[in-house]
């Protein structure tokens, strides 16, 4: 049985005054971006907002916050999560609220996710007495590329203990504006990084016969790595192995001693992950011996596969269908090869993660992690509605 906290009309009216407030908060967070586990200003801002609404937030994962709407009603029925960290990159926009910290920018829209959950916090606080059960709000630090992300720390610190379900959303400019995309089962990839150090024998560029050229060997390794996926796993497997860095050499007439390669691995199934890891090690070892050089491989598993629970996914689909209509709720292009540390939360308890499309008509909006990206404020009302709808559906 669902509990209606706001009638659709009442929520529309309430959002008229709330959305400008959230947009202002979003711009302020955007202007002062903070990297994972350094989000002290962001944390203080959220804390002040929550305390002004009668919450008693607790610190979690150093720079994160956990806040219960009705702690007097015991363990929460559901939790909602927003990530709050920025990326280590430059902002190229001339927005009035552009980043004031060189080399740090909100280029994944976590500023928007934070503002949306702040909005939900406000709406829930206004209906506190009407809530039949507790709801937990998770403001999570360090989603971006920090090994063992903030979600893992929050889970380890017990932020989900006793909680029945957890939900999270992500804006996505590659999907049409106002579309909700979700699927049960595998939703996002497992991620891992690999590093290969190729050690040969350097020397004069004119005397290759006296060298063991690590550049040629490394080039051979890059080519051979292309077969890990294409020849190593079945058509259903699905995996990505990308060499993204290739470093070696200091001068045009010197064959170097060493070349370093590194890149990323994305998989959707633990069995496939093992095969991919094994094949990378074999291919590097074999290629190195062909070229008469030494090669060392290090593979660092990062986030696990994000698996959406069937019942939680059905709830997201139900809520989204009521808001945006059945034509705008799809599982197209999913699972996605991106990684998400929300996967740790989904390992701990039933969970669903969904995308809210923010793309323009031509779908040419800069994607997340692009220097020109900016969170689409126009999606704030839908994102708030989705979380409020889930609260109403699940209580
Ligand atoms: Zn990101
Ligand atoms: Zn993100």
Mind listing the pLDDT tens digit for each residue in 28-62? 999 999 999 999 999 999 999 999 999 999 999 99
| Span from the CA of 86 to the centroid of ligand 1 (angstroms) | 8
Q: What is the pLDDT of residues 329-359, one digit of tens each?
A: 999 999 999 999 999 999 999 999 999 999 9
Contact in structure between 379 and 180 (CB atoms under 8 Å): no
Residue 77 tokens read as: 């029925």
The residues with which 192 forms a beta bridge, in sequence order, are 265, 301
| Span from the CA of 270 to the centroid of ligand 1 (angstroms) | 23
The CATH architecture one would assign to domain 8-188+305-394 is 3-Layer(aba) Sandwich (3.40)
| Span from the CA of 108 to the centroid of ligand 1 (angstroms) | 4
| Span from the CA of 368 to the centroid of ligand 1 (angstroms) | 6
Instruction: Output the pLDDT for position 147.
Output: 58
| Span from the CA of 20 to the centroid of ligand 1 (angstroms) | 25
For tokens 């080519």, the residue is: 223
| Span from the CA of 109 to the centroid of ligand 2 (angstroms) | 6
Residue 146 has pLDDT above 90, yes or no: no
| Span from the CA of 119 to the centroid of ligand 2 (angstroms) | 19
Mean pLDDT of the chain: 95
Q: Where are the domains of the chain?
A: 8-188+305-394, 190-301
Of the CATH numbers 3.30.70.360, 3.10.20.30, 3.40.50.300, 1.25.40.340, which one belongs to the domain with range 190-301? 3.30.70.360
| Span from the CA of 201 to the centroid of ligand 2 (angstroms) | 43
| Span from the CA of 4 to the centroid of ligand 1 (angstroms) | 33
For tokens 């024998």, the residue is: 201
Residue 3 has pLDDT above 80, yes or no: no
Q: CA 235 to CA 246: how far, in whole Å?
A: 29
| Span from the CA of 144 to the centroid of ligand 1 (angstroms) | 6
Q: What is the pLDDT of residues 89-114, one digit of tens each?
A: 999 899 999 999 999 999 999 999 99
| Span from the CA of 383 to the centroid of ligand 2 (angstroms) | 15
Residue 172 has pLDDT above 80, yes or no: yes
| Span from the CA of 136 to the centroid of ligand 1 (angstroms) | 23
Q: What percent of the chain has pLDDT over 90?
A: 92
For tokens 């999913």, the residue is: 334
| Span from the CA of 210 to the centroid of ligand 1 (angstroms) | 46
Confidence of residue 2 (pLDDT cuts 50, 70, 90): low
Instruction: Output the pLDDT for position 76.
Output: 87
Number of the ligand closest to the Cα of 109: 2
Number of the ligand closest to the Cα of 342: 2
Q: What is the pLDDT of residues 248-262, one digit of tens each?
A: 999 999 999 999 999
The end-to-end CA distance of the chain, in Å, is 7
* 46, 184, 339, 352, 377 from 116: Cα distances, Å: 12, 24, 22, 17, 10
| Span from the CA of 165 to the centroid of ligand 2 (angstroms) | 21
Instruction: Output the pLDDT for position 235.
Output: 80
| Span from the CA of 82 to the centroid of ligand 2 (angstroms) | 10
Number of the ligand closest to the Cα of 145: 1
Beta strands in 208-361 (DSSP E): 239-248, 254-255, 258-267, 294-301, 306-308, 329-330, 351-359
| Span from the CA of 141 to the centroid of ligand 1 (angstroms) | 12
């Amino acid at each position: 049985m669902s509990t209606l906290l706001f009638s659709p009309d009442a929520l529309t009216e309430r959002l008229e005054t709330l959305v400008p407030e959230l947009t202002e908060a979003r711009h302020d967070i955007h202007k002062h971006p903070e990297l994972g586990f350094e989000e002290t200003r962001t944390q203080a801002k959220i804390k002040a907002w929550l305390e002004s609404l009668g919450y008693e937030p607790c610190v979690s994962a150093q720079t994160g916050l956990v806040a219960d709407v009705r702690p007097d009603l015991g363990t929460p029925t559901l939790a909602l999560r927003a990530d709050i960290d920025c990326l280590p990159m430059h902002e190229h926009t001339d927005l009035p609220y552009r980043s004031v910290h060189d080399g740090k920018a909100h280029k994944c829209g976590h500023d928007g996710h934070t503002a949306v959950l702040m909005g939900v916090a406000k709406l829930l606080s206004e209906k506190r007495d009407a809530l039949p059960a507790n709801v937990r709000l998770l403001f999570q630090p360090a989603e971006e590329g920090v090994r063992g992300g903030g979600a893992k720390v929050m889970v380890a610190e017990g932020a989900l203990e006793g909680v029945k379900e957890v939900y999270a959303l992500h804006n996505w400019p590659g999907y049409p504006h106002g579309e909700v995309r979700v699927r049960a089962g595998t939703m996002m990839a497992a991620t891992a990084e690999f590093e290969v150090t190729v050690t040969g024998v350097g020397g004069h560029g004119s005397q290759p016969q006296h060298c063991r050229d690590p550049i040629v060997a490394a080039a051979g390794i890059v080519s051979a790595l292309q077969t890990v996926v294409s020849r190593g796993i079945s058509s259903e497997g699905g995996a990505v192995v990308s060499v993204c860095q290739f470093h070696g050499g200091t001068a045009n007439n010197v064959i170097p001693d060493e070349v370093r390669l590194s890149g990323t691995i994305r998989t959707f199934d633990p069995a496939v992950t093992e095969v991919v890891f094994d094949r990378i090690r074999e291919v590097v070892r074999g290629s190195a011996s062909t070229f008469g050089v030494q090669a060392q491989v290090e593979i660092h598993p990062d986030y696990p596969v994000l698996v959406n629970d069937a019942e939680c996914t059905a709830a997201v689909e139900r809520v989204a269908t009521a808001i945006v209509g059945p034509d705008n709720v799809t599982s197209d292009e999913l699972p996605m090869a991106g990684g998400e540390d929300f996967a740790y939360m989904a390992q701990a308890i039933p969970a669903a993660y969904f995308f809210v499309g923010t793309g323009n008509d031509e779908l040419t909006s800069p994607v997340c992690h692009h220097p020109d990206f900016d969170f689409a404020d126009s999606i704030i009302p839908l994102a708030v509605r989705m979380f409020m709808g889930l609260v109403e559906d699940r209580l």
